[in-house]
Amino acid sequence: MKKIILTGDRPTGNLHLGHYVGSLKNRVKLQEEGNYDEMYVFIADIQALTDNFKNPKKVRDNILEVVIDYLSVGLDPSKVTIFIQSMVPELCELTMYYMNLVTLSRLERNPTVKSEIKQKEFGNSIPVGFLNYPISQTADITAFNANIIPVGDDQLPMIEQAREIVRSFNSIYGETLVEPEAMIPDSKVCRRLPGTDGKAKMSKSLGNCIYLKDDSDTVKKKVMSMYTDPNHLKVEDPGNTKDNPVFIYLEALATDEHFKKYLNEYKNLNELKAHYEKGGLGDVKVKRFLYDVIEDILTPIREKRKYYEDNIKLVYDILKEGSIKAEKEAANTLKNVKRAMSIDYFN
């Protein structure tokens, strides 16, 4: 079977460290290994509009921001097709057909959608488009016959929903669609990186992010004011490293090389953790180290960003070319879907 990788991001803001450890790093690794037939990465503007429909400018502006983030972390348009969701209208048509295969109560049971509805304070006024986005996501995945989806763990219910739709479609209309599988990071802390405020998820909508494009001063300010263990008041106090986002970030990002380079009195994170847990290690020292680690990762990303910011036409060309290629592929799947459903009247 062909190996087809697909992922997307909502253009609701710049990409952050959660995206980096949860999904972007995996994408670049897969790209470099080259062991796949096709790889698609797309900007989910239709999905972003489901909860930002009153703010189209925000969505429009962030399309460019997100693509530049992609290119800055190393996604290479000669190896990966990068496209804009709304430039592939076949996705909307597929969504329409898949909607028949899902009940309202099934959509309402989706745990990620449920918590997002609460977070966005929709109350009883949930836009139909928002509730429907997992179906639209199934269209995105199946249009390209994608079977490997590198995501953070908040996306697992979406992949499950997609698998159900594929099975239902194939059993009613005959074997047509490919069942996708989620690929989540090996390391548990990377599957859902918490926010700088200690909240369960770093998320553009929650304003608790360190963005890939943040400059050094901003990163320093954010790191130095991060939530840590509230009971670790004095340096001598024993500290908790488990629910402490500073240590969680170090677990997600710091390598033994970083210790050698910036904090060589400790060999690795285990030693640093042991000292903090015993007492005698202050938050400021740990935060300074975290800042150095983040800077080490972000400096080359910022440099690349600068190049693309100065070459915006090139970025648009990449998007245009990718969108044309993606539309061809989606049109082919749509043709197969319509044939399977016996709605190909004039053929």
Which residues form the interface with ligand ATP (CB under 6 A)? 9-10, 12, 18-19, 22-23, 151-152, 154-155, 191-193, 201-205
- Distance in angstroms (rounded) separating the CA atoms of residues 62 and 211: 13
What tokens does 16 get? 């952050």
Closer CB to ligand ATP, 132 or 203, in the complex? 203
Computed on alpha carbons and rounded to an integer, the radius of gyration of the chain in Å comes to 22
For residue 96, how many other CB atoms are within 10 A of its CB?
A: 11
- Distance in angstroms (rounded) separating the CA atoms of residues 46 and 138: 13
Task: Tell which residue, 275, 245, 244, has the closest CA to residue 259.
Answer: 275
Closer CB to ligand ATP, 14 or 241, in the complex? 14
> What minimum distance in Å lies between the beta carbon of 13 and ligand ATP?
7
> What minimum distance in Å lies between the beta carbon of 243 and ligand ATP?
15
Closer CB to ligand ATP, 249 or 289, in the complex? 249
- Distance in angstroms (rounded) separating the CA atoms of residues 59 and 265: 46
CB 71 within 8 A of CB 315: yes
| Helix or strand (DSSP H, E) at 263 | none
Distances (CA, A) of 28 to 15, 24, 176, 338, 346: 15, 6, 30, 35, 43
- Distance in angstroms (rounded) separating the CA atoms of residues 153 and 183: 9
Closer CB to ligand ATP, 23 or 110, in the complex? 23
> What minimum distance in Å lies between the beta carbon of 10 and ligand ATP?
4
What tokens does 173 get? 């209309």
- Distance in angstroms (rounded) separating the CA atoms of residues 223 and 310: 29
- Distance in angstroms (rounded) separating the CA atoms of residues 249 and 21: 10
Q: What angle do CA 63, 73, 146 make, to 5 degrees?
A: 70
β-strands 38-43, 4-9: how paired?
parallel
> What minimum distance in Å lies between the beta carbon of 54 and ligand ATP?
15
Helix (H, G, I), strand (E, B) or coil at 16: strand
> What minimum distance in Å lies between the beta carbon of 237 and ligand ATP?
29
> What minimum distance in Å lies between the beta carbon of 97 and ligand ATP?
25
Closer CB to ligand ATP, 22 or 77, in the complex? 22
> What minimum distance in Å lies between the beta carbon of 332 and ligand ATP?
26
Closest residue to ligand ATP in the complex (CB) = 22
CB 174 within 8 A of CB 340: yes
Q: What letter represents residue 202's amino acid?
A: M
Closer CB to ligand ATP, 121 or 175, in the complex? 121
Closer CB to ligand ATP, 149 or 334, in the complex? 149
What tokens does 154 get? 């908040």
Closer CB to ligand ATP, 80 or 263, in the complex? 80
